[in-house]
Amino acid sequence: MQNGSGYITLGDGVRLYFQIVGTGAKAVAIPNGFCFIDDFKLLGDSRTLIFYDVRNRGRSDPVSEVAKLERGIHQDVDDLDAVLRHFGIDQPDLIGHSYIGLMVGLYAMRYPDRVGRVVQIGPAQPDAAKQYPGPLSCVDRVFSDTMAEIAQMMKDPPSGRPEEACKRFWSVLRAIYVADPKDAARIDWGRCDLPNERNFRQYWINHLWPSIQSLRLTAEDFAQASAPVLIVHGNKDRSAPYGGGRDWATRLPDARLVTVENAAHAPWIEAPELVFGSIAAFFDGAWPSEAEKVRSL
């Protein structure tokens, strides 16, 4: 594959935007990873990285037909398979962050023969309804203050252009994604120039979140995921509780956990050597020395 960008047309006519970075023999797909290209491209020194915008996100086509959105995360799983088949990739490695971490986990269960190794970074927990005790769930003053400020913004939206309102929203939200406030400025995930991103909230509320809430994964489902899975999770994650990372590590048959101490939802920002070193070692075929075989929550 050559470096470059373009669109992939899916079976239902929806186009997904992609960009390829790196020239290595092994392919790594990173769905919804455009915000992280500058940070993650160092992995492309020996691999080919395929970043793409998932359905109704980023530069992919905006979708208004309910029938093309209502399956939510299940549609994202099937779209990932379509992307891999488009490029003719045999058993690629995968990286998924946040709810996309959940999505690549589902992919490993549904298409076990189509995946090599899987990395979940701060993944959404496998059971959305589960509540974790204090040490496994970081609900601190930063989280409470941020949520209160966002709730007020929803009641009294900022005036001005939608792009400016989006930027204001992200200027507040980014505080929860890092443990050290000085790192908040490095969270630039809003992509507020793109209509899909400005409108993401409604897509999330109406389709994605309900599809995640309705998941009822069984022991048999987890057992289908035969691929090795590395979970990288900050123990101060306010967005996807650290307990969820431990849950994944206990329930998947071949998984280990790298705990990033005093890091939140973007652990590669706060501990880049640990995070990228662990991912590189894992993709080279070895469990990183910091990886723990988790026996219990």
| Contact between 177 and 239 (Cβ < 8 Å) | yes
Q: What distance in Å separates the CA atoms of residue 294 and residue 132, rounded to the nearest whole number? A: 16
Residue 43 inside a domain? The answer is yes
- Could you give the CA distance from residue 66 to residue 68 in angstroms, rounded to a whole number? 5
The values of phi and psi at residue 42, to 5°, are -65, -25
Whether 32 contacts 38, CB under 8 Å: no
Q: Determine how many CB atoms are found less than 10 A away from the CB of residue 49.
A: 25
Q: Is 194 among the domain residues?
A: no
DSSP class of 57: S
H or E element that contains 121: strand 118-121
The long-range contacts involving 193-197, CB below 8 angstroms and separated by at least 24 positions, are 193/163, 194/58, 194/59, 195/62, 196/53, 196/56, 196/57, 196/58, 196/59, 196/60, 196/62, 197/57, 197/58, 197/166
Q: Are 235 and 259 in contact (CB under 8 A)?
A: yes
Q: How many residues does the chain have?
A: 297
Of 7, 87, 104, 78, the closest CA to residue 48 belongs to 87
pLDDT at 119: 98
Residue 289 lies in a domain: no
Report the CATH number at residue 264: 3.40.50.1820
Q: What is the token pair recorded at 159? A: 């005036």
Q: Is a pLDDT exceeding 70 seen at residue 1?
A: no
Task: State if pTM tops 0.85.
Answer: yes
Tell whether the model's pLDDT for residue 202 goes beyond 70.
yes
State pLDDT tens for residues 5-45.
Answer: 999 999 999 999 999 998 888 999 999 999 999 999 889 88
Per the structure, the count of domains in the chain is 1
Q: What HEC string does 125-187 produce?
A: CCCCCCCCCHHHCCCCHHHHHHHHHHHHHHHCCCCCCHHHHHHHHHHHHHHHHCCCHHHHHHC
Q: Rounded mean pLDDT of 191-209?
A: 95
**pLDDT tens sequence across 73-122:** 999 999 999 999 999 988 999 999 999 999 999 999 999 999 999 999 99
State mean pLDDT over 69-75. 97
What pLDDT is recorded for position 154?
Answer: 82
Per-residue pLDDT reduced to its tens digit, 159-174: 678 899 899 999 999 9
Q: At what angle do helices 73-87 and 99-110 cross, to 10 degrees?
A: 70
In a domain, 15, yes or no: yes
Any domain includes 235: yes
Closest CA to 266 of 276, 256, 257: 276
Asked whether residue 178 is assigned to any structural domain, the reply reads no
Asked if residue 158 has pLDDT above 80, the reply is no
Q: CB-based contacts of 34: which residues, under 8 Å, 6+ apart?
A: 19, 51, 53, 58, 59, 191
C-alpha distances out from residue 252 to 136, 201, 212, 214, 294, Å: 19, 30, 18, 20, 10
Other Cβ atoms closer than 10 A to 260? 26
**Is 174 inside any structural domain?**
no
Q: Tens of pLDDT along 218-241?
A: 999 999 999 999 999 999 999 999
Whether 67 shows a pLDDT value over 90: the answer reads yes
Residue 207 has pLDDT above 90, yes or no: yes
Within-domain flag for 237: yes
Domain of 268?
4-136+209-283
Alpha-carbon dihedral of residues 264, 269, 271, 276, nearest 10 degrees? 120
